[in-house]
Amino acid sequence: MKKKISGWVKEFTGSAKGPEAPVWQPAGELYPRLIDSDAAAMGLVVVSGMAIIWYLGVRPQWLRVIASRDLAASLAAAKVAPAILGFQPKGGLFGAWAREPLPRATGLASHLVAVVRPMFVGPLLPGEVAVLRDTPPIDCPLPPGSEQAAVKRRQSYIFLSLSQS
């Protein structure tokens, strides 16, 4: 069972990163907290890219995948969105982002949406661009530090599947 989970993590976290893998930010932090980050202060105003937000608590959840023409506006709106903010008192909201040209950001986000199946997909946040079903996906590894969320979610799924048999 442990080998299956570690294989799944390698497959979806991009252990074999290609030259076109996005550079996730903030660099060097395993679990960047969404609430503590200030995208405008980091120079993300009118910068296109993508972001992923997750909750890492008792029941980890992927909350939102964002493709945006203005990362600062989208992340600032996500921090105060009632659906996402509802997870803050329970522990940790985390997020990571990558600067990418908008067409590439939508393709990367399309792949992440298919892989993590985020809990919230709408309504659009300021600066956010809709990731349509026909948007061609571009392979994208999960951000460093989110692997634990992936493993916990997969283990929960396996446990639920086995207990319902």
Q: What is the pLDDT of residue 157?
A: 42
Which token pair is 12? 């979806």
Q: What is the pLDDT of residue 122?
A: 82
Domain for residue 3, yes or no? no
Domain for residue 110, yes or no? yes
pLDDT in 10s for each residue of the chain, 165 residues: 444 444 444 444 444 344 488 888 877 766 667 777 777 677 677 889 999 999 888 888 899 999 999 998 998 899 889 988 888 877 688 888 899 999 999 999 999 999 999 999 888 999 999 988 788 999 999 887 676 555 554 444 443 333 344
Domain for residue 4, yes or no? no
Domain for residue 84, yes or no? yes
Q: What is the pLDDT of residue 29?
A: 65
Which token pair is 62? 């992927």
Residue 25 contacts residue 97 (beta carbons within 8 Å)? yes
Domain for residue 75, yes or no? yes
Q: What is the pLDDT of residue 33?
A: 74
Please state the domain count of the chain: 1
**Exposed / middle / buried, residue 163 (Cβ in 10 Å: 0-12, 13-18, 19+):** exposed
Q: What is the pLDDT of residue 108?
A: 94
Domain for residue 2, yes or no? no
Q: What is the pLDDT of residue 104?
A: 95
144: preceding bond cis by omega (within 30 degrees): no
Q: What is the pLDDT of residue 147?
A: 61
Rounded to two decimals, the pTM is: 0.75
- How many residues are there in the chain? 165
Q: What is the pLDDT of residue 44?
A: 75
Domain for residue 154, yes or no? yes
Q: Which range marks the domain in which residue 133 is found?
A: 23-163
